[in-house]
């Protein structure tokens, strides 16, 4: 039996992993994007032959569509799905991010409604199917990602009924709400029906998987569940947690670069004699930045001796800046920063250094390495990769302290995190002091436990685990998963023919025979 996986993997997400810009000479410039999904799949894409499908991010004029389509296929093995600006905005900023996003994060008070948003969401999912169905071949694995495309798996299953051995998987990169929030959701029956037409539905944590199982049982008739899967009619669907990770080796390599070393030296000089607390968050209401700032304010008020000895560097990465809810959040955060700096600052120093922009990876790594404490104060968060990145850039000598909200998914995967409740301001403030004064022995013990998780639970292992489960049709034990680490190291950034990705396939076939 040939152990190599010879099929194809079709990765489908709202956005392609490529940023496209118009150039002055009428051509287009293409660059690999940043972002959670792209980061999670970048290393795995060196070992698995992905075909990417998604919106290119801009409205392409009809005369340029053929050129862009050829460029993306030839250079990136990517297939654009074109949407006009009005449709894309109603789907993305409208239904996806003003309705689904807050409800998935259990915040119905943040929901905003638009007259055509629901119809636009359904129509865009249909447009995706229109473009994907002609490209699907027998034996393909189809991997759909995230809340923008919750209806797509069901549409694909119905339209691909004549294809042989098509496996469809879906992964949600947000929390899944408990059933009392899910029942508020528009299109909830359609969403459940679509996901139950998958072979595998994955979540960041088992808690979110259980929430989906409970919600599906409530919303649809004829649904029953067993510990690891769900039954609906004659269908069995594997529903499970697949915690995503990072590739720590890429951060270690960055830390060795002259640029990072230079930035780190500058930071140490600028903040000499002061402890650094770091916050790295998208400027999103789920991230709990106001709660963090208010706890820091209380800490300084109760412990004025720390005012000249500590600073908070808060990186706020712009996101959905054109949405009113996010405009209001920015005003609130910047007003808090001004208030706290005015209250506690001096002529020579400010307690908060606030940065509202994205920064270069080298400076981010240097900030991670320089920080004595990193605070993640999310009031609801799918997993949170900042926690993993911070650990990857620290070492046993510095052993920075990771403080994380009880409401972030990664608090369940990183065992030695200092856990805080962002709503409990007095204890939050006290915990900041505890973290700053933590003895080096305890810091090193916590760091050792957390770095072990970061090293083992990588993005490659996450993707491998999901794809193996999708292909084979059962959950694999940890020691059954193929190790692709060396293969990833030996390849460059171009995707290559998949080899040894689903090594148990041969054993599975032999068992069946």
Residue 172: its pLDDT value, please? Answer: 96
Q: Tens of pLDDT along the chain (513 residues)?
A: 223 456 799 999 999 988 888 887 778 888 877 655 666 676 677 667 789 999 998 888 878 899 999 999 998 889 999 999 999 999 999 999 999 999 999 999 999 988 899 999 999 999 999 999 999 999 999 999 999 999 999 999 999 999 999 999 999 999 999 999 999 988 999 999 999 999 999 999 999 999 998 898 888 888 887 766 788 888 889 999 999 999 899 899 999 999 999 999 999 999 999 999 999 999 999 999 999 999 999 999 999 999 999 999 999 999 988 888 899 999 999 999 999 999 999 888 899 999 999 999 999 999 999 999 999 999 999 999 999 999 999 999 999 999 999 999 999 999 899 999 999 999 999 999 999 999 999 999 999 999 999 999 998 889 889 999 999 988 766 555 554 444 444 433 332 233 233 333 333 333 343
Residue 341: its pLDDT value, please? Answer: 97
Q: Which residue has the tokens 């104060």?
A: 377
Contact between residue 404 and residue 418 where contact means Cβ atoms under 8 Å apart: yes
**DSSP symbols for 246-257:** --HHHHHHHHTS
Give the pair of three-digit tokens for residue 356. 């509202």
Domain residue ranges of the chain, discontinuous segments joined by +: 9-245+462-486, 259-456
Residue 346: its pLDDT value, please? Answer: 87
- Three-state DSSP state, 105: coil
Beta sheet of 418-420, edge-to-edge order: 352-355, 310-317, 275-282, 373-376, 401-405, 418-420
Q: Do domains 9-245+462-486 and 259-456 have the same CATH topology?
A: yes
Q: Which one of 2.40.40.20, 3.40.50.2000, 3.50.50.60, 3.40.50.920 gives the CATH number of domain 259-456?
A: 3.40.50.2000
CA separation for the pair 157, 393 (Å, rounded): 43
CA separation for the pair 70, 264 (Å, rounded): 42
Residue 114: its pLDDT value, please? Answer: 85
Closest C-alpha among 505, 462, 500 to residue 143: 462
CATH match of 9-245+462-486 with 3.40.50.2000: yes
């Amino acid at each position: 039996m040939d152990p190599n996986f010879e099929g194809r993997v079709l990765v489908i997400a709202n956005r392609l992993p490529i940023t496209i810009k118009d150039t002055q000479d009428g051509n287009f410039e293409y660059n690999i994007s940043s972002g959670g999904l792209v980061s999670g799949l970048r290393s795995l894409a060196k070992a698995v032959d992905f075909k990417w499908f998604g919106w290119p991010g801009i409205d392409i004029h009809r005369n340029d569509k053929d050129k862009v389509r050829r460029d993306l296929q030839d250079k990136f093995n990517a297939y654009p799905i074109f949407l006009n600006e009005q449709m894309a905005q109603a789907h993305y900023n409208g239904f996806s991010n003003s309705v689904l996003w807050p409800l998935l994060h259990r915040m119905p008070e943040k929901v905003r409604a638009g007259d055509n948003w629901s119809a636009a969401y359904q129509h865009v999912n249909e447009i995706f199917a229109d473009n994907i169905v002609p490209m699907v071949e027998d034996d393909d694995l189809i991997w759909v990602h995230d809340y923008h495309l919750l209806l797509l798996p069901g549409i694909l299953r119905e339209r691909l009924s004549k294809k042989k051995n098509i496996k469809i998987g879906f992964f949600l990169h947000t929390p899944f709400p408990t059933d009392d929030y899910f029942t508020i959701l528009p299109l909830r029956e359609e969403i459940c029906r679509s996901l139950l037409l998958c072979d595998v539905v994955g979540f960041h944590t088992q808690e979110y998987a259980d929430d989906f199982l409970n919600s599906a049982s409530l919303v649809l008739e004829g649904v029953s569940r067993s510990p690891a899967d769900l039954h609906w009619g004659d269908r069995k669907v594997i529903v499970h947690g697949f915690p995503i990770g990072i590739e720590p080796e890429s951060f270690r390599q960055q830390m060795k670069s002259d640029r990072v070393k230079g930035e780190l030296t500058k930071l140490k000089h600028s903040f000499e004699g002061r402890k650094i607390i770091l916050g790295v968050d998208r400027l999103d209401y789920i991230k709990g930045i106001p709660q963090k700032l208010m706890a820091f304010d209380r800490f300084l008020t109760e412990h004025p001796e720390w005012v000249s000895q500590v600073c908070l560097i808060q990186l706020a990465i712009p996101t959905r800046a054109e949405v009113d809810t996010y405009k209001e959040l920015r005003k609130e955060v910047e007003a808090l920063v001004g208030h706290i700096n005015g209250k506690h600052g001096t002529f020579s120093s400010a307690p908060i250094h606030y940065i509202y922009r994205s920064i270069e990876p080298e400076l981010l790594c240097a900030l991670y390495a320089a920080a004595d404490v990193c605070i993640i104060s999310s009031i609801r968060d799918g997993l949170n990769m900042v926690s993993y990145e911070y650990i990857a850039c620290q070492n046993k000598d510095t052993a920075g302290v990771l403080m994380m909200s009880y409401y972030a998914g990664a608090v369940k995967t990183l065992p030695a995190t200092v856990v805080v409740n962002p709503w409990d301001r007095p204890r939050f403030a006290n915990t900041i002091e505890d973290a700053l004064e933590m003895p080096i022995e305890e810091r090193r013990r916590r760091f050792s436990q957390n770095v072990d998780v970061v090293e083992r639970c990588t993005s490659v292992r996450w993707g491998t685990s999901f794809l193996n489960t999708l292909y084979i049709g059962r959950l694999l034990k940890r020691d059954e998963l193929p190790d692709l680490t060396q293969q990833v190291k030996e390849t460059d950034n171009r995707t290559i023919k998949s080899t040894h990705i689903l090594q148990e396939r041969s054993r599975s076939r032999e068992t069946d025979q």
